Amino acid sequence: MQKRFKASTYYFNRLMLPVRLRRFGRSLCMSLGLCLSLLALPLYAAQTQPVLISTLTPVADWKNLTYITQAFSEIALKNEYDVAKHKVRKWRIPVRVFVEHQVGDRALHTQLVRMHLAHLAEITDHDIQLVDTLLDANLHLVFTRQSQWESEVMRLMGPSSAKNVHGSVCMGKFALNAKSEIERAWVIIPVDQAQMHGKLVACVVEEITQVLGLPNDSEKVFPSIFNDKTPQDLLTGLDFILLKLLYNPSIRAGMTAAEVKAPLQILLEQWQRDGTLIHADKTVRQGQLYPLLGY
């Protein structure tokens, strides 16, 4: 659950930032005091054909039911650094998020987190809220600096995570109980490092989303924030569907790949009939971060 370096993406975004985003970001951020930070935010890149199923057509590939099922298995039932077979992992208890600020731009960072948490709560229908004290939290998010990056990962996540900091921009981790329910989570974002690579928003969005129970990164899943080879910095329609699947009551923590297959099929067929799939790309852009970035 790490956002990796994409130097070429940062170069592209800095040079190709469109006028409409610059104008929109400038007018909005003046009122929020966020101007310089928002102007450096990266954009979506052109989309290409998904690779899990080679016979799909390029336009609406990800909406294929088999493709979505494979994508769910790839992202929800696997981990980045092992090859074990995992069960469904999700929160049952309310998620309470405490943000620790070790660097400046507190208003910017809090606003980004607040907007994304509101979007996740709306998509999943799960109780997700910011809290004022660490004692009340079960998700601890730290905005730090690169010089403290490794020591903060060691402090909160332990040596097994610390050994993976090199080549990563930011990191998230969660802890499970015996039922595969997520009980605690941590996200660490070294702000200067993330900004240097144009990935501050991407780190906020991806890491918080992943600690909800979608922990794997995969080049096989596209378009998605979970694919480190593509510069998706906000949730895509496919990510929206993966979150809705995971937090549907019929998908329970502890279910195996075999057990989850039938309810996934039922849900996807229902969403194909009622238009949820076809409208997912449009629906996901109702999140507060999208107009903030000029979409």
Q: What's the one-letter identity of residue 237?
A: G
**Cα–Cα separations (whole angstroms), residue 36 to 26, 105, 233, 268, 279:** 9, 11, 18, 42, 34
Report residue 167's pLDDT band, with 50, 70 and 90 as the boundaries: confident
Provide the pLDDT for residue 55.
57
Provide the pLDDT for residue 231.
72
**Hey, how many other C-beta atoms are within 10 angstroms of the C-beta on 31?**
8
Provide the pLDDT for residue 78.
94
Specify whether the CB–CB gap between 286 and 234 falls below 8 A.
Answer: no
pLDDT tens track for 182-209: 999 999 999 999 999 999 999 999 999 9
Q: Once rounded to an integer, what is the mean pLDDT over residues 248-256?
A: 98
pLDDT tens track for 61-104: 799 999 999 999 999 999 877 778 899 999 999 999 999 999 99
Provide the pLDDT for residue 21.
33
Report residue 239's pLDDT band, with 50, 70 and 90 as the boundaries: very high
Q: What percent of the chain has pLDDT over 70?
A: 80
Q: Can you give the pTM of this predicted structure? A: 0.84
β-strand partners of 188: 142, 171
DSSP string, 219-249: TTS-SSTT-TTS---S--HHHHHHHHHHTST
Residue 18 pLDDT exceeds 80: no
**Hey, how many other C-beta atoms are within 10 angstroms of the C-beta on 136?**
12
Arithmetic mean of pLDDT over the chain: 84
Provide the pLDDT for residue 125.
98
Report residue 27's pLDDT band, with 50, 70 and 90 as the boundaries: very low
Between 232 and 97, residue with greater pLDDT = 97
Q: Once rounded to an integer, what is the mean pLDDT over residues 228-240?
A: 89
Report residue 56's pLDDT band, with 50, 70 and 90 as the boundaries: low
Closest CA to 196 of 2, 6, 1: 6
Closest CA to 170 of 93, 112, 245: 112
Residue 58 pLDDT exceeds 60: no
**Hey, how many other C-beta atoms are within 10 angstroms of the C-beta on 114?**
15
Question: Coil, strand or helix: which one is 148?
Answer: helix
141 Cβ partners below 8 Å, 6+ apart?
97, 98, 99, 100, 113, 186, 187, 188, 189, 208
Number of helical (H) and strand (E) elements in the chain, helices listed first? 13, 7
Report residue 36's pLDDT band, with 50, 70 and 90 as the boundaries: very low
